[in-house]
Chain A
Amino acid sequence: MSDAREFKIPIGPQHPALKEPTSFTVTLSGEKILQVGVRLGYNHRGIEKACENRSFIQSLYLIERVCGICSHSHSSCFVQAVEEIAGLQPPPRAVYIRTIVAELERIHSHLLWLGVAGHEVGFDTLLMYTWRDREIVMDLLAALTGNRVNYGMNTFGGVRRDISPEQKADILKAMDALEERTKYYISIATEETTLIKRLSGVGMLSHPDAIRLGAVGPTARASNVPRDIRKDDPYAAYDQVPFEVITNDHNDVYGRTLVRVGELMQSYKMIRHLLNNLPDGPIAVKAPRKMPAGEALSRYEAPRGENVHYVRANGSEKPERVKVRAPTLANVQAVAHMLKDRYLADLPIVVAAIDPCFSCTDRLIALSQGQSSQPGVITWAQLHDYSIQWHRKQGIDFGQLNKSFTCGELT
């Protein structure tokens, strides 16, 4: 029977503090959380079923859109399974390129997380700094793949784009810049007393609980569980690149912060190694349209933890079954456990600390111009002018309002 002093508040599914549609029913006694009920599924899009009605190659592009942040994680996990079924061996150069994009994706994801974490504890300067620096890696990904997210880099049997010597030089230069910035963030995380006190002891997940509840990724590693699929079940080029699995025994949000900044430093080293040892040769082998009957289980260490894909083929050009288990699903029970007996005010940062997945495709860099089939790149200033002209045609004139707000001020 519920106590008269207890009350339940619904948080979500749509809520300004949570970027994903997820519903928490929080039972409170005063400010203290007694129990948390989690309801998921608001973003279920039926992608697994949709894959069964599409060809393998169509499914690849759909699977990449499971997530807006770790899109390469999902497409890589899927191609690995299909390649195993088909007996395809992607060339070494393709495998290295996949791994480079994977680590670039981890950098952009972890920098994004660091900013979100700063924002959730009222340290918005950290948000501004990290998201500014994240643009360096977003621009690299755009230059390499043609897009900031949903890269379309993978295909069955290899990758679709090579890395040129000029791009290699750009990436190496960017790694130096990002490494310097990350050293600064590490100094903040280890010396800034306010941040340390705000994150320490918050969202506790003991080592035994992390194992019992099946936590994955940085959430598990910050409870000193040294699980990392890149090391435990190596795929792509991870058995050929030296790196350390970063763990921490703080068991709290502070530990999760230290793990992620530590992993950033590892990613820079790995990308340098991969680029400096990039094998020569082709970037893809020809893949069949119809895949032979078979099944495979693929694992992948996404930025948020272990990503799992199971694929079954029946000999046709469409998959018989595609199963996706994204890392956030594995961490949900751990979050509910972390929140119990803690204060309501800690809920946003505790939830954010597992880095729940949400989409961030809010910037355009290339547009098709009118009826022309030729894509063109437009500048921010051109996009701004286009917007004004478009609205003017609809009878809305922002020109007068924007007189003092010139494009020059935005760039």
Chain B
Amino acid sequence: MSEEQTIQSELLGKFPCLQDKVRLQRARRVFAEAPSAQIGKVFDFAVRDMGFSILCAITGLDLGGELGVIYHLARDSGVVLNLTTAVSRDCPRLQSVVSYFPAAEIYERELIDLLGFEVQGLGPGPRYPLPDDWPAGQYPLRKDWQAPAEASLPQESEEKDV
């Protein structure tokens, strides 16, 4: 059995809800889609028990009715587990993973700024990557977001002194 097949088998053995939701795309690439209620447990199992000790990145997605998130977790062997979940667009709430990976902070702040996620357990800190005066409720990576017309952008004379 290949390493990827073993990963698939371990995930299905521990989480029957992942039946038909684990895909081996190619060598060293596993995709798994977990229900939002289970994502915390699957993430914890992958990191603590399966050796996925590297967080490559976190990707946020606008899936239409829902917002999606993918945790790209890797092992030293080069295998990447792309762990996906989707949450309601009206209440896009995630639990922070900074207790597992301190470097996740910047990726989670990006989810907040660009897609409007609410990340519980993430401490205070500077926003990323949008400017401090970016209007509230404007999430550029949402599909229905339109860039404001140039005329409505703040003019230099209107900017506050800092």
Q: Which residues of chain A (20-49) have a CB below 8 Å from chain B?
A: 37-41, 44, 46, 48-49
Q: What's the dominant secondary structure at chain B's contact region?
A: mixed
Answer yes or no: B130 CB below 8 A from chain A CBs: yes
Choose among B25, B53, B56, B141 the residue that contacts A325 (Cβ–Cβ < 8 A): B56
Answer yes or no: B14 CB below 8 A from chain A CBs: no
Report the count of interface residues on A (CB-CB < 8 A).
Answer: 35
B: contact size bracket: 35 or more
Complex Cα distance, B26 from A106, in Å, reads: 28
Choose among A211, A229, A310 the residue that contacts B59 (Cβ–Cβ < 8 A): A310
- Which interface residue of B54, B56, B74, B140 has the most chain A CB atoms within 10 A? B56
Q: Given A214-B54, A227-B76, are A297 and B29 neighbors across the interface (CB < 8 Å)?
A: yes
A44 touches B80 (CB 8 A): no
Answer yes or no: A333 CB below 8 A from chain B CBs: yes
Choose among A39, A52, A297, A332 the residue that contacts B82 (Cβ–Cβ < 8 A): A297
Q: Which chain A residues lie closer than 8 Å to B101 at the CB level?
A: 214
Q: Which residues of chain A (233-288) have a CB below 8 Å from chain B?
A: 233-234
B82 touches A41 (CB 8 A): no
A44 touches B130 (CB 8 A): yes
Q: Given A213-B102, A295-B31, A330-B103, are A308 and B56 neighbors across the interface (CB < 8 Å)?
A: yes
Answer yes or no: A317 CB below 8 A from chain B CBs: no
Q: Which chain B residues lie closer than 8 Å to A49 at the CB level?
A: 140-141
Q: Which chain A residues lie closer than 8 Å to B59 at the CB level?
A: 310, 321, 323
Q: Which chain A residues lie closer than 8 Å to B60 at the CB level?
A: 323
B103 touches A325 (CB 8 A): no
B126 touches A39 (CB 8 A): yes
Q: Which chain B residues lie closer than 8 Å to A229 at the CB level?
A: 78
Shortest Cβ gap from B137 to chain A (Å): 17
Q: Which chain B residues lie closer than 8 Å to A308 at the CB level?
A: 56-57, 72
B residues whose Cβ falls under 8 Å from a Cβ of A? 25-26, 28-29, 31, 53-57, 59-62, 70, 72, 74, 76-78, 80, 82, 101-103, 105-107, 126-131, 140-141, 143
Query: Beyond the given A41-B131, A233-B78, A306-B56, could you list 7 further A-B residue pairs with CB under 8 A, ordered by the A residue number?
Result: A233-B80, A295-B31, A296-B29, A297-B72, A325-B56, A325-B107, A333-B105
Q: 9 A-B contacts, Cβ less than 8 Å apart?
A: A39-B126, A46-B140, A52-B143, A227-B76, A299-B56, A310-B57, A310-B70, A323-B57, A333-B105
3 smallest beta-carbon distances between A and B, as pairs: A41-B129, A214-B103, A233-B78
